[in-house]
């Protein structure tokens, strides 16, 4: 399956805690090869970012450690 087809049929999901913020959040979808697609919920038609498993893991690790907190 090519990437465009995989993105069209991807199982998009967003954080359960994002429901009360008016929809300003991102969605993620697992892809083949451990990759992860990321898109803006307000612009689902835009081409999503696709990152490798190691990039996604580094992002999650940073988020858990508070690296992106303001």
Q: Is the pLDDT of residue 67 over 60?
A: yes
pLDDT at 41 (0 to 100): 85
pLDDT at 26 (0 to 100): 87
Give the separation between CA 40 and CA 47, rounded to whole angstroms: 10
Could you read off the pLDDT of 4-32 as tens digits, one per residue? 899 999 999 987 767 665 667 889 999 99
pLDDT at 36 (0 to 100): 97
Return contacts of 31-34, CB within 8 angstroms, 24+ apart. Answer: 31/3, 31/6, 31/7, 32/1, 32/6
> What's the average model confidence in pLDDT over 52-67?
95
The reported pTM is 0.81
């Amino acid at each position: 399956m090519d990437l465009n087809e995989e993105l069209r049929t991807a199982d998009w999901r967003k954080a359960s805690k994002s429901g009360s913020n008016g929809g300003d959040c991102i969605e993620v979808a697992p892809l083949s090869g451990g990759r992860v697609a990321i898109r803006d919920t307000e612009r689902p038609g835009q081409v999503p970012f696709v990152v490798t498993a190691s990039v996604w893991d580094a992002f999650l690790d940073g988020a858990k450690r508070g690296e992106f907190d303001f």
